[in-house]
């Protein structure tokens, strides 16, 4: 028997090693390609969804969020473990491919990297294998012993199996290298861990070392191919699909997916919304493939936190399971289960559309679009929605606002202020979009007056649409009434274009998001600025001088639609920090992790039972000990005001104010 010979050079059960390897690889490749082909058919079944815009930005995101895994360390322990396993697996995959190629090549070795690059790779691979093995063992321990709550409902057996296989790949390669060093195959290469393994093998005879070398090779080869074929059959399909999913992520975060990307006119559609798996887009299908079942989405869901029956992870898993049942790898399709069984109405209407699930997802799954698409089907095709919404829909359709006050009362908030009326022909540089809350909510009308007063003091040439302004349609769209939203949007856009409006300042983040991110698809292309950013620019330019001392500790509450959807976290904080005497304090959950006030997704008009989101948020903010709470959203103002009033510490109720009111006190 020759020693130090490549395992492929031996004959096994009368079959030459090269032939045996070729057969195993060919069979494995055929199975893998067949499974992927069947999965690809499901992807092709999805509806159109254009995702090739802004290629440079997509590539940047692929590097930062895909390869560098920017979001993973938000959970420090789990994030570091995942990054180590991810990069370790990538590094070892090159080695596994080399072993596959070696087993088929006619020469002794098939070298992908040689010389200095080969030496560097060998050294890094050796260290990566040890780090990855340790990370896998610790990950198994966390799942089995620590058992984080967010893992509940995940397929634990699949996780253990894949983590075990990755660990086995590391062990077999270290044994392959270690026995190879002992046999004198690898000379002059710096492989510290493999060298340590070879020391442990010192007492083994040469025949034993050769047998170990051969066994490690074949076990590594078979394990790698087995893992490869398991991926598209399990949740670990994300190992293949996550990077493409990151690349094809949504570019305009605040824009909801339209009912159909390829058809904009609702009159041309025989149905609106999603009622079956076949109604989802190919990107939705890719989302299903890419879900890691990590549970971060559910862990940060405010509805789930207060006990509502909503888990974004569970919804994704349920939709994926139904897609797989209707499009199995083998056997007959199962179309018995309806989408209404996979995702109940209770789950759909629990969502506040705050976007926290999407913000936390490391692979950029778009949960909210799917929920709204299913709401569209329930509202517009099945007439199945909470009865409280009926009046809100009617009020918007008939009166142009959710409360049903009517356009005739749109200017009552102005009182004695002299404000230009663009609808009456007054020439202005900027239009102030007052919004329904500013016009009709008695509390927020004071904020509208404050903002108008600040703009007048700063010398801004502005005006309003007066009685011509109507609801922007945000709540209609996010509660599934797409027809009503588009009617409002088209009417408003026609008016704004006719009046030649170029720049708009908006107080409500929901209106701001709608005008900025959703109106352009219907022809409304204006410069839209939220009042927090606009006021900061006035302060920075010296047009508003904050000279009066305000000795207060103030906590700023991040609005979901201003922060997560539009990335505006700094302007409100800079305003507060620029006021003499103000000490800015933060609630535990702030900025990207900010906790919803509970009003989004239609919950301003829905009946909330049990523990309330706004009371939970009020308690979090109160725990920071502020004298005042600053907001930049009419709905946040209302919800936190109510939440503080209901707070159990009745003797301590921080005053809730809008940024404009705080600025007024500092002038």
Nearest to 237 by CA among 194, 164, 293: 293
Q: With bands split at pLDDT 50, 70 and 90, how would you rate the model's confidence at 188?
A: low
- State the pairing for strand pair 503-506/527-530: parallel
For the chain, where do the domains classified as CATH 1.20.950 start and end?
7-247
Report the C-alpha gap between 276 and 287 in whole angstroms: 16
Rounded average pLDDT over 267-272: 87
Report the C-alpha gap between 567 and 254 in whole angstroms: 10
Structure confidence at residue 64 (pLDDT): 95
Dihedral sign, CA of 305, 309, 310, 311?
positive
Cβ burial of 202 (10 Å; 0-12, 13-18, 19+) is: exposed
* Res. 318: pLDDT tops 90: yes
For the chain, where do the domains classified as CATH 1.10.1060 start and end?
266-381
**DSSP string computed for 266-310:** GGG-S--S-SSGGGSBHHHHHHHHH-----HHHHT-HHHHTT-S-
Structure confidence at residue 251 (pLDDT): 93
For the chain, where do the domains classified as CATH 3.40.50 start and end?
388-539, 544-666
User: Tell me: the pLDDT tens digits for 377-402?
Assistant: 999 999 999 999 999 999 999 999 99
* Res. 481: pLDDT tops 70: yes
Task: Give me the residue label for tokens 């040469």.
Answer: 206
Architecture per CATH, domain 388-539, reads as: 3-Layer(aba) Sandwich (3.40)
Dihedral sign, CA of 203, 208, 213, 216?
negative
Pick the CATH number of 7-247 from 1.10.287, 3.40.190, 1.20.950, 1.10.10: 1.20.950
**Class level of CATH domain 266-381:** mainly alpha
For the domain spanning 544-666, the CATH number is: 3.40.50
- State the pairing for strand pair 553-556/628-631: parallel
What global pTM score does this model have?
Answer: 0.91
Lowest mean pLDDT among 202-211, 350-359, 563-572, 605-614: 605-614
Structure confidence at residue 136 (pLDDT): 94
Structure confidence at residue 495 (pLDDT): 95
Q: Are the CB atoms for 240 and 29 separated by under 8 Å?
A: no
| Mean pLDDT computed over every residue of the chain | 90
Rounded average pLDDT over 40-48: 91
Report the C-alpha gap between 87 and 95 in whole angstroms: 13
Rounded average pLDDT over 334-351: 85
Lowest mean pLDDT among 43-47, 182-186, 405-409: 182-186
* Res. 110: pLDDT tops 60: no
């Amino acid at each position: 028997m020759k020693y130090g010979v490549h395992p492929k050079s031996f004959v096994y059960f009368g079959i030459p090693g090269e032939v045996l390897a070729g057969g195993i690889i060919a069979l494995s490749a055929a199975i893998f390609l067949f499974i992927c082909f069947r999965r690809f058919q499901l992807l092709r079944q999805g509806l159109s969804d254009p995702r090739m815009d802004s290629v440079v930005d997509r590539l940047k995101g692929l590097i930062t969020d895909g390869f560098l895994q920017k979001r993973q360390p938000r959970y420090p322990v789990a994030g570091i473990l995942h990054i180590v396993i991810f990069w370790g697996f990538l590094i070892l995959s090159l080695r596994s491919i080399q072993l596959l190629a070696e087993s088929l090549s006619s020469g002794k070795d098939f070298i992908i990297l040689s010389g200095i690059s080969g030496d560097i790779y060998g050294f890094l691979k050796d260290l990566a294998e040890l780090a990855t093995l340790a990370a896998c063992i610790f990950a198994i321990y966390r799942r089995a012993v620590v058992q984080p709550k967010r893992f509940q409902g995940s397929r634990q057996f699949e996780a253990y199996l894949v983590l075990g296989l990755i660990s086995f790949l590391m062990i077999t390669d270290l044994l392959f290298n270690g026995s190879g060093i002992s046999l004198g195959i690898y000379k002059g290469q710096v492989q510290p861990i493999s060298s340590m393994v070879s020391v442990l093998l010192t007492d083994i005879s040469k025949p034993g070392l050769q047998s170990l070398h051969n066994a490690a090779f074949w076990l590594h080869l078979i394990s790698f191919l087995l893992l490869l074929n398991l991926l598209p059959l399990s949740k670990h399909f994300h190992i293949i699909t996550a990077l493409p999913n990151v690349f094809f992520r949504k570019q305009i975060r605040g824009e909801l997916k339209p009912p159909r990307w390829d058809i904009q006119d609702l009159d041309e559609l025989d149905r609106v919304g999603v009622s079956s798996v076949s109604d989802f887009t190919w990107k939705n299908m890719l989302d299903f493939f890419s879900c890691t079942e990590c549970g971060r989405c559910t862990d940060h869901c405010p509805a789930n936190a207060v006990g509502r029956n909503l888990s974004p992870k569970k919804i994704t898993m349920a939709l994926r399971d139904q897609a797989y049942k209707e499009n199995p790898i083998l056997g007959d399709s199962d179309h018995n289960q309806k989408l209404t069984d996979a995702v109940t109405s209770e789950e759909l209407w629990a969502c506040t559309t705050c976007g926290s699930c999407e913000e936390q997802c490391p692979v950029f799954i778009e949960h909210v679009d799917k929920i709204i698409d299913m709401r569209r089907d329930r509202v517009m095709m099945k007439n199945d929605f909470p009865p409280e919404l009926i009046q809100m829909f009617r009020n918007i359709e008939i009166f142009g606002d959710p409360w049903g006050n009517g356009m005739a009362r749109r200017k009552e908030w102005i009182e004695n202020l002299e404000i230009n009326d663009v609808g009456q022909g007054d020439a202005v540089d900027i239009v102030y979009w007052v919004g329904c809350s500013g016009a009709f909510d008695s509390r927020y009308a004071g904020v509208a007056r404050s903002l108008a007063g600040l703009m007048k003091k700063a010398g801004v040439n502005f005006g309003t649409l007066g009685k011509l302004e109507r609801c922007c349609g945000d709540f209609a769209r996010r509660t599934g009434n797409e027809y009503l939203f588009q009617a409002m949007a088209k009417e408003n856009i026609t008016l704004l274009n006719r009046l030649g409006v170029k720049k708009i300042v908006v107080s409500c983040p929901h209106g701001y998001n709608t005008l900025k991110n959703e109106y352009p698809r219907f022809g409304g292309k204006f410069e839209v600025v939220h009042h927090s950013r606009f006021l900061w620019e006035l302060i920075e330019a010296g047009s508003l001088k904050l000279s009066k001392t305000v000795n207060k500790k103030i906590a700023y509450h991040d609005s979901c639609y201003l922060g997560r959807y539009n990335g505006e976290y700094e302007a409100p904080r800079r305003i507060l920090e620029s006021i003499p005497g103000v000490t800015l304090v933060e609630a535990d959950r702030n900025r990207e992790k900010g906790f919803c006030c509970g009003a989004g997704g239609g919950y301003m008009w829905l009946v909330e039972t049990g523990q309330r989101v706004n009371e939970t948020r009020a308690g979090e903010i109160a725990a920071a000990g502020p004298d005042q709470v600053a907001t930049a959203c009419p709905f946040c103002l209302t919800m936190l005001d109510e939440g503080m009033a209901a707070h159990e510490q009745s003797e301590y109720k921080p005053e809730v104010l809008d940024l404009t009111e705080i600025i007024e006190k500092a002038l």
